[in-house]
Amino acid sequence: MGKKGVRHKKSLNQLTLSLEPKHEVSFASFCWDNISCWKDIFLNLGKPNQEEHFFYIYGEPGSGKSHLLEACCYNLPISQLAVYLPLKNYHEYGPELLNGIEDQSLIAIDDIDSICEDSAFEEALFHLINRVRQKKDKTLILSGLFPPNLTKFKLADLKSRLHLGLSIPLTPLEDEQKKQTLQSFAERRGLVLPANIVDYLMQHYDRNMHTLTAIIRTLDKASLSAKRKITIPFIKAVLEE
């Protein structure tokens, strides 16, 4: 197990965020093929020789942004604390969510596009970036759909701040890369998925990696409950009933 995730309360309604990365999300299960030139940078997060402290990762849905952010949190040295905040899940709770989190060693904020055109939230993110950069020893990783110059934020100062980070594009995985990644994902859950099973999933369901990994989680739980192996008839029974 990795370190315990940070828990951050929203003062207005005592909202509690549980921010521990999922056990199967790690660097070992991330496909580095498309960003291999930056691998060493991420492996050095939280270490004395770390050089970069502000990252902006962008790419289309399913390209691996959330996986990479959570893996960065999971891989941080045990003596340091990280916070992972997927904004699309918590946007409704307001910009107060960003208060005080700059004190963590690593702040990973996912889906920043979800706050576009929310003036208060955009300003809160702008100020958070400034606070983290002033601390020097903290690391901030943001993720979004578009490169910095194509983001749809209204606040010009926020757009300019994104340009200060190391921008890293994630491109979608090729089909063979997806198959390998899915099999690795399954193995980390104690599952063995033969090639024909993976092929069936990719041929009959959305090829978005979020969808495919969610399907594997569902099949894992169902197979444990039914005490059955995952076969094509079993998949049909579970997913198409």
Give the pairing type, strands 139-144 and 15-18: unpaired
Distance CA 70, CA 84 (A): 7
Give me the mean pLDDT over the 51-78 stretch: 91
Q: 90, 17 in Cβ contact below 8 A?
A: yes
User: Within the chain, which residue ranges are assigned CATH 1.10.8.60?
Assistant: 175-240
**Beta-carbon neighbour count of residue 202 at 10 Å?**
15
* Cα dihedral sign, 27-28-31-34: positive
Predicted confidence band of residue 1 (pLDDT cuts 50, 70, 90): very low
**Beta-carbon neighbour count of residue 186 at 10 Å?**
22
Q: How far is CA 102 from the centre of its chain?
A: 18
Summary mean pLDDT of the chain: 86
Q: What is the pLDDT of residue 24?
A: 62
With 50 as the cut, is the pLDDT of residue 12 above it?
Answer: no
User: Within the chain, which residue ranges are assigned CATH 3.40.50.300?
Assistant: 27-169
| Cα-only R_g, the chain | 19
Q: What is the pLDDT of residue 20?
A: 42
DSSP assignment string, the chain: --PPPPEEEETTTTEEEE-PPPTT-SGGGS--GGGGGGHHHHHTTTSTT----EEEEE-STTSSHHHHHHHHHHHS-TTS-EEEEEHHHHGGG-GGGGTTGGGSSEEEEE-GGGGTT-HHHHHHHHHHHHHHHHHSS-EEEEEESS-GGG---S-HHHHHHHTTSEEEE-PPPPHHHHHHHHHHHHHTTT----HHHHHHHHHHS---HHHHHHHHHHHHHHHHHHT----HHHHHHHH--
Q: 192, 186 in Cβ contact below 8 A?
A: yes
* pLDDT tens column, 149-166: 999 999 999 999 999 999
Tokens 């992972």 sit at which residue? Answer: 84
| CA–CA distances in Å: residue 148 to residues 21, 109, 156 | 26, 15, 11
Give me the mean pLDDT over the 80-88 stretch: 94
pTM tops 0.85, yes or no: no
* pLDDT tens column, 182-229: 998 888 888 889 999 999 999 999 888 888 988 999 999 999 999 999
Contacts of 40 (CB under 8 A, 6+ apart): none
Q: What is the pLDDT of residue 2?
A: 38
Share of the chain above pLDDT 70, in %: 90
Q: What is the pLDDT of residue 153?
A: 97
**CATH classification of 175-240, choosing from 2.30.30.230, 1.10.8.60, 3.40.50.800, 1.20.1250.20?**
1.10.8.60
Q: Which CATH architecture has domain 27-169?
A: 3-Layer(aba) Sandwich (3.40)
Contacts of 80 (CB under 8 A, 6+ apart): 3, 46, 105, 106
Lowest mean pLDDT segment, chosen from 7-21, 56-70, 131-145? 7-21
